[in-house]
Structure 1
């Protein structure tokens, strides 16, 4: 079974982003959300590593972050952190959906 390294890197990026938000701005909300969504993304990467068809937690986590942080980015037009997380989440969504389509075609 292949380890979902990209999923784990994404999870770390989200968690570290929350930690940076706390350190720079004192935002407990950023810390909590970053750690929660980082944990969810890490569990999703673990589940996907165990069974490549089990992408639902990763899909939900990256989709939620893409929408929430995308709206924050549109309101502020600041790339850090909202734009970066929106971009990373969008790329994760594209990766997951592409993988789902490839598996559906090969079945």
Structure 2
């Protein structure tokens, strides 16, 4: 059984991003979103550690986060945090799609 370290690292980055949004700006919504999407990503990484072809949860979490943060980046034009999270999420989506090919 191989552990999906990339998936767990992505989940930690998402959760940490939500925490930093709360710490710096007092945004409870950022904290909640970071914990929800980080938790879903961690759960998806756990599932992928057991079955590397089962990417549904990870793909859903990273895809939805890529769309949400992409819209935020388009509206604000700020690279940090929306642009970074959009890029990370898109990389995760591409990685997951390459795993099933």
Q: Normalised by the size of structure 1, how large is the TM-score?
A: 0.93
Matches within 5 A, 1:34-73: 34-73=34-73
The answer for the alignment partner of 1:89 in structure 2 is 89
> Which digits, 9 at most, give the CA deviation of each residue in 1:86-107, with x for residues without a partner?
0000000000001111xxxxxx
- Does residue 29 (structure 1) correspond to residue 29 (structure 2)? The answer is yes
Provide the rounded CA distance (Å) in 2 between the counterparts of 1:79 and 1:17. 13
Q: Normalised by the size of structure 2, how large is the TM-score?
A: 0.98
CA RMSD of aligned residues (A): 0.5
Which structure has the greater CA radius of gyration?
1
Moved over 6 A (4+): none
